[in-house]
Structure 1
């Protein structure tokens, strides 16, 4: 295992971790965060290194599952939490996020090179990396745009491959949860061999993974009806909290088989086989209520706790020495990924018009309608008669790369160089299954008795008998004709292609010698082209409840040149500087730079500091998104805070300019010679991002318009056809509107000792490692709204105050035992909330009052063990890993009061362990 978060050469790191007092043999390496190759150089930028042994100890289904446990990585997209990202195309992806600063501001590399995105926003899916060849991961937790280009605002994650592998190695692993679900298996085979008398070397990796996933949420912690709702007793000035965080809450305006939500018949609901029943309301403030028949209307179990996955992948690389000084290399990869998951049910909150002559109305209700002279009522339904909506995504990614590398002498000094060309392409089939067509559904539910034949028909079929409409009964459970259901649903599909082309050349050399060490320089140039294209059948572009896909077409290119240098000033004092000039075809020129210093007053102690200017250019989605739409729900303050459904339209903005970030990093590394094997690092970071690209959510747009801010009102469209000025459509698009700031402190400590040195008679080695991040600030100011700080918010809004990971590894001969503790600090829902239960101050849009603002933290224990042996001439290792050993439930994180809270799982799927105790059993082999 590797120890402190410093960045000397890999061998120096290993020596520090092992506690060896002998100097390590140093070889030339390129350290992530710097282009300089220099023996013993230690970068001023903090670096966390993950070894292959650490990854294998937990036997993750995907290496991203391990990386997401590192405290500096938080807020990442995974197949568990991205399942409902249906319209964005993100469902099923593994996308990393450093500092909770946005995945688009984290640069992900494979052997120091970019990969094509797997979604329109350029997100790189870790599923496409050759898992069996990953020998380590380097995480640079600081700005690195001057060295590596756009997107490295919060840092770089570099996956390093073992392209020197010789022989064959592989693994077979299978697992499931303690509940017997989410069964999965994975097979991996990798190999390498020299050829042509040692001048050539080839490696390959093949992987097959299948994961059943979990359809629904079969966990008791999700069954208690935890939500946030507007307090029914609240009146401005009465001292009550405006919002309540409670359990036993359910919707008041929708039921599985439908409920009448207006007129004197309000509260009549339709049960099994259309039976007529009276709903028991609790304390109600639409769309929520406390108590009553809350259990009957619970529907937050219709998502997938984890999407099912199938992955197939191949990777190959060949190197060949053309001469003693020039080597050619080529690599190719192909990956296919398919995921299918529930994304919830369709909700119609009090917005289904049912005419009084509807043929499916039970006679007892029809009589009451006639007696009261009611010609129409509104129905609210969670549509148990319709199938659960699903996200079915398939992606195929290819990546081809050819290049040369070598060395020569210039002016008596060695120069190393490399040049390559790369083509990456991702083709996606993004399908939403079992989605209702709004027009077909409206026609089918409007069923009447034919005036001539007296049979039940669609009203529209009387004038147009051949229109294909089949009457659909929405009044009850088990009453819908399957043929009618099939006629109103469809499977909207979008095909997209994302293409990336890269050509680059890099040179590294020493310029001259100082009295302590040579001055080193790295320089290079890169051209990159990003393009998106797609197709959507016209029938799927509009008229659907969700999945109104629009094709996106767009392209930009960027040309960059950089130079980086390391100048040894004094013994123990190095200065590192870099500058990069970048020209974007969409937004022009921008310059990034970095200045860093390392200083070791004594061998045991090193200080480091960096200051950098970093950028992120707008991605293809932000620039060119074609205008897809979805149906969503919000609280309308213009209409007595009623819950309404509307169409949300998202479009790109070609006028966007690059974000610019100023980053500070200050830290210290302590490796005492009097305690061999021990290392400690502490690093403070501060990022200030100007012109941050973002968009305001629909609820905020409506709230701000209601307050009189006209710039928000322009995004709202209304429908007056019913005589009520209801919101029908809201346009959401990105712009450079915000300042974002992030501050925090990273801690890392490690210690390795031979137990025989500690106490005679003991065998084996013990390695301890601790990683922690204290998130001090995650601030945003868009210049209009009150600035917010989301650090310490354990909901989806921000990182917790603390994340930490503690590891103890014991190894004695063939036996390895590993114990891991993963911790999350307690948090809140919103730092702006004012917690009170009585005598509350005035509740405002910037400081809402709430009865409870607390979210529990968590501490999980993982355990693994491995036993090495020989089998059939191969080096083999059997292993068992158990995550969440105590089967601890996730903290309850309630959703609401607006949006689609009613359908969301009662926790933060990004932050907490949602599956429970998990087992993986497997075998590794090598020969």
Structure 2
């Protein structure tokens, strides 16, 4: 066994961020140098020349160490080819806190395949195959290879946008201890951890055992602790624009003329301002007679303290729409939100390798990962959805008099109940994986490999600071009994019980005008735990070698077979199964599994070599036939070519068809139920302007359609009605398919040593994307078809009078997507000043990204919208000598807007500015055993752009994708020590 030495690390350093891998030179036992054939991501063939028809970006160990990253997602997310995925900075709101995923080309993490040493890895998101990349030990990584382009024919399903292949150390000798720490410039977000690696050879160096353990902990960062994220921005009517319109109308201009004039002036229609919702209040707020009132701790009433202007805005839009500006007593939209979730992770990895005298090689890799994390959000709030009645026990005389004066029987209220604590979840995850492999060589010099793999990921999700919905409603509906005592109405009148038959004799009345009592909190508090598991089993065999010697070189072939079984089980808590928790939300158990049997073949065929205009011309072919137990048969293929007409230029092209099979959640999710206000397409508002055939369809559905006193066709159905939204899986789903084209140039001028420039165009066409209809599409399309016998009406349940009560949004193969772009990469190294300077630049231009959000609509362009800027790039500068390395990296994010229709005349600002973030790193070798690393990210402390929807990272806070585009943490520092002994 050979120790990872400085020669190897130097080679990997040269490879870092290059678009192709390197050929590694080793020395045999006789001291003679020989060239090993190596494998490049995108192929199972071994070759001396490592040029790939598809672009491959390589990140070396030295770059990983210098970055200070304890989760490699931190480093990968800075690549221009990546769209925001899950990380500790983006996972507060989607049930995946503590998980890191990658999203190549913005096609979704489900369409990016993550491998470890060319092999699959068990997923960590229940019901999916998506890998938690933070579960891969950073200190064991030798390099990371990122292949962009379809690779399903080589690696199987999910490699639609590309592959991330993480190569780990498997034959380390020695001991190494890494200590690391980090903190923000605002003294929060502390990080600390350590890695310990120990490897030894045994039995005359035939075997090697490598042991690895790491522990890392990072603290949360709260949005309220950053001035640029503690409140949200909104677009509001520009007073100058309003005044101009009124003046023009007063001069006799028509509305059409006013619109045309203001369209071309320099005054934007809307401007940006901070707004605070009146309902975002730590004390109860009511709105009566045009005045907002709140209450002191003793229950006495007073007007709300408004913002600096002392004005209310949009009072006509209901309680939730009433706003004021900053300076009042209202809470900011992000007062309780997390910019980064806390994560605590321990990881153990053991690798054993043994080479038998027969030449066979055995390896066993075992890993266990334990992760703890949490998400936190707003405390429970009311925004007017549960009004108090006039006879409520706690409506005092002054408030009651105001209600009577304004003829109000129902009183909508708004409040954040901070006494209940922040809503959220505590997550506990553990992952175990074992891989046993045997490799050997047939007598004809063909290599073979067989491995068996088992992995299982478990997760417990404990919902905290929640509540029993029925107890909450019962406590709010409080009245005075015959003795004048405040009691819950349901405790003395069984017909008022929120859930008939439940016992409310111990119900604690809730005075919403004063702080919540301990007795009340104990009565309504609910904590419940759901559990999930994901299991993967793999059997794999492949063999590769030279079929025969062609006129331009050997015809290399690889072929094999693979069996994979994925199973998942989600067990909701009793509160979710029975639907007695917050919002009466119902979640059913999900139990499902599928298996897939693959056979695959790959060939590399040299066509020309060392002839005029063809120093080299190779063709690569691969195909895979997969049979899924649920989705049926599917074939993926790839055809590629590399042509080197002269030594300075290589032209590469590939065309592929890849697939993503429906995952377990998409196939087996049981019917879930949730309350929703359902839009009614036959409502009195809608039917007045409906086409005649729509009116007739509404009549056929039982809707009472009639002419009102003005002779207008209408109905007696209100626009929105309370109902149930059903979600479910679909076992009839087919695979998603992607047709991908990549074509590029690799320029390596012989006159300039160590310079490489690549240009690669790529185009991805996805069809059959698995998704669900949105509610409005289903209910509208049902009545808009010529016949009611259509797929949309089949998803609806109605009452006899035509009112929709249930909408079933099951998963279907529905949509299309078209994405294309250009990657430009430049690498240059040169020696000077006693060391080596390095320059690397990666630029992506997004040419096209058209998505179909609904199969009834045309593709919509989204280039330049949030998460998908037209331009992204990085430039990395470095200098290193034997003892010292310094690096600077600048990341560029192009301007973006939230809507394609926004222009400077409509809103200001209508798009974010271009953002540039600079990171600095430095390393120093104190001696051969000891190395120190320091660095700072976002050294200029650039703030997140201030505009609606960009204010905490490029998306609304509740979507879980905040922080993926922009740096929301501010300047951070890190330091580490590497001691090898």
Per the TM superposition, whether the score is higher than 0.5 is yes
Which residue in the other structure is 1:18 paired with? none
Q: 1:887 aligns with which of 918, 927, 941?
A: 941
Q: 1:684 aligns with which of 757, 761, 766?
A: 761
> CA separation of 1:716/1:272 partners in 2, compared to 1, >3 Å: closer, same or farther?
farther
Which residue in the other structure is 2:64 paired with? 55
Counterparts of 1:845-856 in structure 2 under 5 Å? 853-856=910-913
Counterparts of 1:491-506 in structure 2 under 5 Å? 491-506=527-542
Q: What SS does the corresponding residue of 1:474 show, helix, strand or coil?
A: coil
Matched, 1:396 2:404: no
The 10-residue stretch of structure 1 (642-651 or 290-299) with the greater mean CA deviation from structure 2: 642-651
Which residue in the other structure is 1:567 paired with? 605
Matched, 1:485 2:521: yes
Q: Distance in 2 between matches of 1:219 and 1:716?
A: 46
Q: What SS does the corresponding residue of 2:400 show, helix, strand or coil?
A: helix
Which residue in the other structure is 2:888 paired with? 819
Which residue in the other structure is 2:596 paired with? 558
Alpha-carbon RMSD: 3.4
Higher RCO (C-alpha 8 Å, min separation 6) = 1
Q: What SS does the corresponding residue of 1:553 show, helix, strand or coil?
A: strand
CA contact (8 A) 2:220 2:340 kept: yes
Q: What SS does the corresponding residue of 1:202 show, helix, strand or coil?
A: strand
Which residue in the other structure is 1:473 paired with? 511
Matched, 1:418 2:449: yes
Which residue in the other structure is 2:136 paired with? 129
> CA separation of 1:290/1:540 partners in 2, compared to 1, >3 Å: closer, same or farther?
closer
CA contact (8 A) 2:345 2:369 kept: yes
Which residue in the other structure is 1:158 paired with? 165
Which residue in the other structure is 2:712 paired with? none
CA contact (8 A) 2:91 2:960 kept: no
How far did 1:91 drift?
Answer: 2.6
Q: Distance in 2 between matches of 1:274 and 1:688?
A: 62
Q: 2:462 aligns with which of 409, 419, 431?
A: 431
Which residue in the other structure is 1:344 paired with? 378
How far did 1:853 drift?
Answer: 3.2
Superimposed CA distance per residue, residues 71-106 of structure 1 (whole angstroms, 9 cap, x where no aligned partner): 1111211121121003xxx23210110001111000
How far did 1:249 drift?
Answer: 2.3
Superimposed CA distance per residue, residues 506-546 of structure 1 (whole angstroms, 9 cap, x where no aligned partner): 10010110122100000010000011123234333223336
Q: What SS does the corresponding residue of 1:484 show, helix, strand or coil?
A: helix
Which residue in the other structure is 1:250 paired with? 276
How far did 1:301 drift?
Answer: 2.1
Which residue in the other structure is 1:544 paired with? 581
CA contact (8 A) 2:944 2:950 kept: no
Using the size of structure 2 for normalisation, the TM-score is 0.83
Q: What SS does the corresponding residue of 1:854 show, helix, strand or coil?
A: coil
Which residue in the other structure is 1:449 paired with? 480
How far did 1:802 drift?
Answer: 1.3
Q: Distance in 2 between matches of 1:634 and 1:293?
A: 34
Which residue in the other structure is 2:704 paired with? none
Superimposed CA distance per residue, residues 285-317 of structure 1 (whole angstroms, 9 cap, x where no aligned partner): 634356457852533221111111110111111
Q: What SS does the corresponding residue of 2:24 show, helix, strand or coil?
A: helix
Q: Distance in 2 between matches of 1:62 and 1:746?
A: 25
Q: What SS does the corresponding residue of 1:398 show, helix, strand or coil?
A: strand
The 10-residue stretch of structure 1 (121-130 or 577-586) with the greater mean CA deviation from structure 2: 121-130
How far did 1:679 drift?
Answer: 0.8
Counterparts of 1:733-752 in structure 2 under 5 Å? 733-752=810-829
How far did 1:155 drift?
Answer: 0.2
> CA separation of 1:668/1:863 partners in 2, compared to 1, >3 Å: closer, same or farther?
same
Q: Distance in 2 between matches of 1:126 and 1:397?
A: 12
> CA separation of 1:373/1:742 partners in 2, compared to 1, >3 Å: closer, same or farther?
closer
Q: What SS does the corresponding residue of 2:929 show, helix, strand or coil?
A: strand
> CA separation of 1:706/1:139 partners in 2, compared to 1, >3 Å: closer, same or farther?
farther
Q: What SS does the corresponding residue of 1:664 show, helix, strand or coil?
A: strand
How far did 1:253 drift?
Answer: 5.3
Q: What SS does the corresponding residue of 1:54 show, helix, strand or coil?
A: helix
Q: What SS does the corresponding residue of 1:855 show, helix, strand or coil?
A: coil
The 10-residue stretch of structure 1 (180-189 or 640-649) with the greater mean CA deviation from structure 2: 640-649
Counterparts of 1:249-288 in structure 2 under 5 Å? 249-251=275-277, 255-261=281-287, 264=289, 267-279=292-304, 280-284=311-315, 286=317, 287-288=320-321
Q: Distance in 1 between matches of 2:433 and 2:236?
A: 49
> CA separation of 1:887/1:353 partners in 2, compared to 1, >3 Å: closer, same or farther?
same
Q: Count matched residues.
A: 879
Q: What SS does the corresponding residue of 2:47 show, helix, strand or coil?
A: coil
How far did 1:634 drift?
Answer: 10
Matched, 1:334 2:372: no
Q: Distance in 2 between matches of 1:136 and 1:622?
A: 34
Using the size of structure 1 for normalisation, the TM-score is 0.88
Superimposed CA distance per residue, residues 628-686 of structure 1 (whole angstroms, 9 cap, x where no aligned partner): 45678999997999999986543212121001111100001011111111111111000
Matched, 1:91 2:94: no
The 10-residue stretch of structure 1 (850-859 or 111-120) with the greater mean CA deviation from structure 2: 850-859
CA contact (8 A) 1:44 1:610 kept: yes
Superimposed CA distance per residue, residues 802-853 of structure 1 (whole angstroms, 9 cap, x where no aligned partner): 111111111133221111101101112122x15364xxxxxxxxxxx76653
Counterparts of 1:500-515 in structure 2 under 5 Å? 500-515=536-551
How far did 1:784 drift?
Answer: 0.8
Q: Distance in 1 between matches of 2:544 and 2:446?
A: 6
CA contact (8 A) 1:153 1:661 kept: yes
Structure with max Cα Rg? 2
Counterparts of 1:704-853 in structure 2 under 5 Å? 731-755=808-832, 762-781=833-852, 782-794=854-866, 798-831=867-900, 833-835=901-903, 837=905, 853=910
Which residue in the other structure is 1:319 paired with? 353
Counterparts of 1:642-661 in structure 2 under 5 Å? 649-661=726-738
CA contact (8 A) 1:302 1:903 kept: no
Q: 1:462 aligns with which of 489, 492, 505?
A: 492
Q: Distance in 2 between matches of 1:329 and 1:205?
A: 16
Q: What SS does the corresponding residue of 1:752 show, helix, strand or coil?
A: strand
How far did 1:375 drift?
Answer: 2.7
Q: Distance in 2 between matches of 1:632 and 1:74?
A: 31
Which residue in the other structure is 2:90 paired with? 81
Counterparts of 1:113-124 in structure 2 under 5 Å? 113-120=119-126, 121-124=128-131
The 10-residue stretch of structure 1 (533-542 or 326-335) with the greater mean CA deviation from structure 2: 533-542
Q: 1:193 aligns with which of 177, 193, 200?
A: 200
CA contact (8 A) 1:9 1:28 kept: no
- Return 5+ residue gaps in structure 1 as ranges: 15-22, 756-761, 838-848
Superimposed CA distance per residue, residues 32-68 of structure 1 (whole angstroms, 9 cap, x where no aligned partner): 1011111114211110000011111111121111111
Which residue in the other structure is 2:703 paired with? none
- Return 5+ residue gaps in structure 2 as ranges: 1-12, 27-31, 247-254, 305-310, 495-502, 610-615, 686-717
Q: Distance in 1 between matches of 2:678 and 2:904?
A: 25
Which residue in the other structure is 1:528 paired with? 564
How far did 1:466 drift?
Answer: 6.0
Which residue in the other structure is 2:932 paired with? 878
Which residue in the other structure is 2:175 paired with? 168
CA contact (8 A) 1:141 1:155 kept: yes
Q: Distance in 2 between matches of 1:549 and 1:574?
A: 54
The 10-residue stretch of structure 1 (370-379 or 624-633) with the greater mean CA deviation from structure 2: 624-633
Q: What SS does the corresponding residue of 2:39 show, helix, strand or coil?
A: coil
How far did 1:586 drift?
Answer: 0.4
Which residue in the other structure is 2:715 paired with? none
